[in-house]
Homo-oligomer: A and B are copies of this chain.
Amino acid sequence: MSLVVVGSLAYDAVETPHGKVDRMLGGACTYISLAASYFTPVSIVGVVGDDFAEEDERFLASRRIDLEGMERAPGKTFFWSGVYSQDMNDRTTLATDLNVFASFSPKLPAGYKSKPYLFLGNIQPELQRSVRGQMNGVRLVGGDTMNYWIRDHRAELLKTIGEWDFLLINDGEARMLSGEYNLKRAARAILEMGPKTVIIKRGEYGALLFHGSNTFSAPGYLLDSLFDPTGAGDCFAGGFMGYLAGRNIDLSDPATDAKELSRAVIYGSVMGSFCCEQFGVDRFRTLTRAEIDQRYQEFKSLTDF
């Protein structure tokens, strides 16, 4: 069923030990919707500048992503630039030019408002909440956040995630939000803030899912070569949410198989792993659903005992 994704559309400049790209399509909304598009129809909400290339728009449309909610504003598209360390576990931001994204105020096209699935990428918590408020009868809503909102906009963030079905967060952010170092305790504390499910991303070490009293641990995929990790966390989000939407999962229905959430985490991991194999979104220019399902099976054999 149809999924609405809200977040940044951007151009990135990236340097990894494998090379350098001066300008490539990026942004959380881009990665999330590309990954999700393999599982379900996706409609995006975001803003681009007048420099946004027609070929990039065509690429998103070629993945059947609905661009009606993509606003064009005078000025430049959000631009981020960074350099990864030799082992790619750290990155240094060289530039963050918000440009048209600075005054982004997401407005949902009328046709989006009754869609059942909503993923709120990392933007100001008050904007995430305003989008949630524009939707009618959403079945499943969740999203992402970051250290800045946790530290400096805590009250607003807590009000926002209190209305979500799930929160996706990395390990450092989970510790910061909960004040607990131990991830099991951190997850428990976050579940008490409102979300019924929390997914903690641990980079190359995989991800943890906490849902009620259930815990699931997904391994990191062992890549032959990590080419460019930019967007991997967002592709995880896209695979996770795309799978749930594609399967029409309703977590409030007691008949729903709780294992579907675990499978969604594995599809998230699959999409994150593909993302790292080429620069930026390039892997999604050739990736097929058959390759995705084959890697899902690899996760099966990687964890079976």
Q: B-contacting residues of A (Cβ < 8 Å)?
A: 86-87, 181-185, 202, 205-206, 208, 214-220, 222-226, 259, 262-263, 265-266, 299-305
CA distance A122 to B303 in the complex (A): 29
Question: B222 near A219 (CB under 8 angstroms)?
Answer: no
Task: List chain B residues, Cβ under 8 A from A259.
Answer: 304-305
Which of B216, B219, B265, B304 has a CB less than 8 Å from the CB of A262? Answer: B304
Which residue of B is nearest A210, CB measured?
A: B222
Which of B219, B224, B266, B305 has a CB less than 8 Å from the CB of A184? Answer: B224
Asked if A303 meets B181 with Cβ closer than 8 Å, knowing A205-B202, A205-B205, A208-B222, the reply is no
Which of B206, B225, B263 has a CB less than 8 Å from the CB of A305? Answer: B263
Question: B262 near A225 (CB under 8 angstroms)?
Answer: no
Count chain B CB atoms within 10 A of each CB in A220, A266, A299 and give the residue with the most.
Answer: A220
CA distance A7 to B199 in the complex (A): 41
Copies in the complex: 2
Question: A222 near B226 (CB under 8 angstroms)?
Answer: no
- For the complex of A and B, the 10 pairs showing the least CB-CB separation, nearest first, are A217-B219, A262-B305, A205-B205, A184-B222, A303-B303, A217-B302, A263-B305, A266-B305, A87-B181, A259-B305
CA distance A147 to B272 in the complex (A): 33
Q: Would you give 18 A-B contacts (Cβ < 8 Å), ordered by A?
A: A86-B181, A182-B223, A182-B224, A182-B225, A183-B222, A184-B222, A205-B205, A206-B217, A206-B219, A215-B222, A216-B303, A216-B304, A217-B222, A217-B302, A259-B305, A262-B305, A265-B305, A303-B303
Question: A217 near B181 (CB under 8 angstroms)?
Answer: no
Task: List chain B residues, Cβ under 8 A from A265.
Answer: 305
Return A197 CB to nearest CB of chain B, in Å: 15
CA distance A27 to B182 in the complex (A): 27
Task: List chain B residues, Cβ under 8 A from A220.
Answer: 217
CA distance A202 to B204 in the complex (A): 12
CA distance A265 to B184 in the complex (A): 22
Count chain B CB atoms within 10 A of each CB in A87, A219, A226 and give the residue with the most.
Answer: A219
Task: List chain B residues, Cβ under 8 A from A301.
Answer: 214
Asked if A305 meets B202 with Cβ closer than 8 Å, knowing A182-B225, A226-B182, the reply is no
Task: List chain B residues, Cβ under 8 A from A206.
Answer: 205, 217, 219
Knowing that A206-B219, A216-B302 touch, tell me 15 more A-B residue pairs with CB under 8 angstroms.
A87-B181, A182-B225, A184-B223, A184-B224, A205-B205, A208-B222, A214-B301, A215-B302, A216-B304, A217-B219, A217-B222, A217-B303, A219-B219, A259-B305, A266-B305
